[in-house]
Structure 1
Amino acid sequence: MAVWTGRLTDARQLEVLALAIRRVLEQRSRAPWSDVRGALQEQDLLSGPAADLLDRLRHLDHDEVAAVRRRLPSGARTLLLAPADDPLRDRLADEDLMLDADLDRVVDQAGWGPLPVTSPDAIVEGVVPLGRAWMQASQVKAELTAAAGAPEAWHLVGGLRRSDPMTPDVAVLAVTDDPQAWIGRAVAALHADTIAVAGSCGLAIAADPEPVVVHAVRQDAVPTSLLWYTGPRAHVQEMRLQSAARGLALNRYSLLGADGPLALTEEADVYRHLDLPVIPVELRGRRGVIESAREGTLPELIEMHDIQGDLHMHTVYSDGRDSVAGMVHAARALGYRYVAITDHSPSAKASRVLTLDRVEQQAEEIAAVRALVPDVTILHGIECDILPDGHLDVPDDVLERLDVVLASLHDGAGHGPERLLERYLTVMRHPLVNVITHPANRSPGRTPGYVLAFARLFEYAARTGTAIEIDGAPGHLDLDAPLAEQAASIGAMLVINSDCHVAERLGRQMQFGVALARRAALTAGQVLNTRDVDGVRRFVAAKRTGRV
């Protein structure tokens, strides 16, 4: 992201502002304009004519920023905490994608119910980082299975299904032949303090900062309920309009024709009845996505099965929990054909690091595991720290012995955007550096990361044959989708890694990374680790031999 110079063309100014706003919305999808403007001011993006351009952008890019223009609170906290007679419930309940309208009928039991609030304007909508949202949903599913019995199936919906890095709606769908009875058993079995609100076919379980909402539906309602509760709201509204134009009516339980509900077996059937291909959940919040689908111009997004290996993971040699063998066996169970063991270098502020005197010991252990697991190629790598002077903390004679080298800028050292960028450019000139990891060094819900001219970083990565990482670790989720899309458009090679420290999370964190790539509309051909291991080795060798 470029620092504002005042010399950019009008079109370029709009492009910079649009990218900046998208990145703010990745952190908080329904932020008020004051927060958006404040974030842009912190990045020196609102000097000169940019303030006027921002107002124009609010109209030009309506679909992307409509959410932040709405001043009314929305989301789970609003509906759960607003008094039952508050008109806000009537305005939001019918169209809200998180809470079933049944939740307006609060079960009046002693000890629990909606909490009173003095004013809807006083409500601050919470947002939940993707990793925490996934864990909360998993815990709620386990608790409700124990309380009410296992449903026929569970489905993630809302922002969790869309893989929003920060989701305002943690929600799941339970499929059961008798939704009211299943919810009734859950309400009867759960402690009153754990229930925020309940209705005939849904309930919300108290969690921080937002309740986890559970919708119960019959199997025949799953196709439309999945679409309805996945959202986002604007997409569902547009799908309803598309349905009406064809004489149909879409609601959360069915797609109605002149003679009643149409026969649907899966969510894709809803799109087929509207003469549309299935729109990937990660793209449903994009402006013009339905028109693109109708024109046949949607990209064929990368899938989990395209991933051939993982080039960023940690073991007990640094701050990982599992051994080299443990990580390799977990990768083998996922069907990977190769992995890279990339423990932290000596300068990292991790709880443990790979000291230089143990690199050879690790190499010997990797050789032993190669003999035990011959069908998974194990690359020996390292995650080096980029020091404040722009150099790496591992000498070249060590790096030359490794198969792949990752470089990370964990410590900003108080540097401004230009100095941070120069540190990146310096290491990318190094012929042994193959990947820049989590380039923004962001942490969803905590910090948006570095502010620098990412376009220049991506251009230099493309020029030097250095891959840019999409990190699926919940503490990073970096690059975010807007930056990953920009990197791909510039021609930089992307790589999706788990940055995993625990073997059992290897697949989940790769799924998060792939979801980020899909939100950026990436295809398999734009991602390094969709290639076989020989393709990865050729990529590394091209830079080392100056053939980029």
Structure 2
Amino acid sequence: MLLTGDYHTHTVYSHGKGTVLENAMQAKALGLKEIAITDHGFEQLAFGIKHKKMPSLIRDVKEATEKTGVQVYVGIEANLCGENGRTDLKSEDYKDFDVFLMGIHRFVKFNNFKSWYNLFWSNYIHTALPVKPPKKLVDYNTRAYINAIEKYPIDAVTHLNFLCFCNVEEVAKAARDYGTYIELNSKKKHLSDEELERVRDTGVRFLVNSDAHSVDRIGDTALVDEQLERVKIPRDRIDNIDGRLPNFRFREYKERNL
């Protein structure tokens, strides 16, 4: 599958190995028109991007766009921090960003102990142990996802259900209704075939992203291609292939409000 744009890539500004320019050069070599640099959010305790690094990142993105001709965007993979849907991308930082991704991650500055217990510890335990997660946990995670989608102009939910448990159908319905994409992540196995079928049947739209943490994985779709051999999704429901570019919710929000 050839991507028009890869909107989930990491660099040395957080947990990646390549520079912004190296990512953009690889995108150009592959024939991509666009790429987003979406380093981990500010409250990722191990390797989140730092506010003090933002001017440098913005300069690097501008330079990479000029040198390669690929449209490079300043993005972020924000962290979901609590049941109320709070993410670590604050409205005062919106001016610095073009693409707003969001997912559940570990080692995050969660809202409080309850958020830490559910979004990190309980998810971790039930991922590690071969036991079915309790409905209470699934409902908690589902509410957190949906509250985030409803409150914030999130472009895409990344690796839905990776190392966590939710009602994927209900999250997908919220994403459909608010104009948020569900990402098909080609780095992590995050939806079973049955779950992906349920997501597909809501009518939500998709992006395929590499989640590249190294330059050689920019534009890589192999894992998604393999699953789509089993679970059929109409190609016109995937908005970053076949020359199409996505309609990003965050961009529209900024045009109206900033």
Q: TM-score range by the shorter chain?
A: 0.7 to 0.9
Instruction: Give the superposition deviation at 1:432.
Output: 2.4
Matched, 1:385 2:75: no
Superposed CA offset, 1:87-125 (max 9, x none): xxxxxxxxxxxxxxxxxxxxxxxxxxxxxxxxxxxxxxx
Contact 2:99/2:248 (<8 A) preserved: no
Match of 2:35 in 1: 339
Instruction: Give the superposition deviation at 1:452.
Output: 2.3
Task: Give the TM-score taking structure 2 as reference length.
Answer: 0.81
Match of 1:368 in 2: 63
Contact 1:340/1:380 (<8 A) preserved: yes
Matched, 1:536 2:246: yes
Superposed CA offset, 1:279-320 (max 9, x none): xxxxxxxxxxxxxxxxxxxxxxxxx13x21111010010110
Contact 1:384/1:406 (<8 A) preserved: yes
Superposed CA offset, 1:468-525 (max 9, x none): 111111xx22233322222121111111111011111224x42222322333211221
Unaligned segments of structure 1, at least 5 residues: 1-303, 442-448
Matched, 1:526 2:240: no
Instruction: Give the superposition deviation at 1:427.
Output: 1.0
- Partners of 1:325 and 1:477 in 2: CA distance: 28
Contact 2:79/2:104 (<8 A) preserved: yes
Identity of aligned residues (%): 22
Matched, 1:316 2:12: yes
Instruction: Call closer, same or farther: CA 1:377–1:357 in 2, change over 3 Å.
Output: same
Match of 1:355 in 2: 50
> Could you say what secondary structure the match of 1:312 adopts?
strand
Match of 2:207 in 1: 495
Match of 2:140 in 1: 419
Instruction: Call closer, same or farther: CA 1:380–1:338 in 2, change over 3 Å.
Output: same
Contact 2:75/2:100 (<8 A) preserved: yes
Instruction: Give the superposition deviation at 1:379.
Output: 1.4
- Partners of 1:435 and 1:405 in 2: CA distance: 7
Instruction: Call closer, same or farther: CA 1:540–1:532 in 2, change over 3 Å.
Output: farther
Superposed CA offset, 1:181-226 (max 9, x none): xxxxxxxxxxxxxxxxxxxxxxxxxxxxxxxxxxxxxxxxxxxxxx
Q: How does 1:162-181 map to 2 (within 5 A)?
A: none
Q: How does 1:471-486 map to 2 (within 5 A)?
A: 471-473=185-187, 476-486=188-198
> Could you say what secondary structure the match of 2:102 adopts?
strand
Q: Which amino acid aligns with 2:12?
A: V
Q: How does 1:125-136 map to 2 (within 5 A)?
A: none
Which one of the candidate residues 128, 149, 153 is aligned to 1:432? Answer: 153
- Partners of 1:545 and 1:380 in 2: CA distance: 16
Q: Which amino acid aligns with 1:477?
A: K
- Partners of 2:190 and 2:242 in 1: CA distance: 21
Match of 2:115 in 1: none
Q: Which amino acid aligns with 1:338?
A: E
Contact 1:470/1:477 (<8 A) preserved: no
Q: Which amino acid aligns with 2:246?
A: V
- Partners of 2:205 and 2:99 in 1: CA distance: 15
Return the index of the structure with the highest Cα Rg: 1
Contact 2:102/2:157 (<8 A) preserved: yes
Count of residues paired in the alignment: 229
Instruction: Call closer, same or farther: CA 1:531–1:544 in 2, change over 3 Å.
Output: farther
Higher RCO by CA contacts (8 Å cutoff, separation 6 or greater): 2
Instruction: Give the superposition deviation at 1:378.
Output: 0.8
- Partners of 1:363 and 1:339 in 2: CA distance: 14
> Could you say what secondary structure the match of 2:37 adopts?
strand
- Partners of 2:31 and 2:68 in 1: CA distance: 13
Q: How does 1:227-238 map to 2 (within 5 A)?
A: none
Instruction: Call closer, same or farther: CA 1:471–1:536 in 2, change over 3 Å.
Output: same
Instruction: Call closer, same or farther: CA 1:537–1:400 in 2, change over 3 Å.
Output: farther
- Partners of 1:401 and 1:429 in 2: CA distance: 22
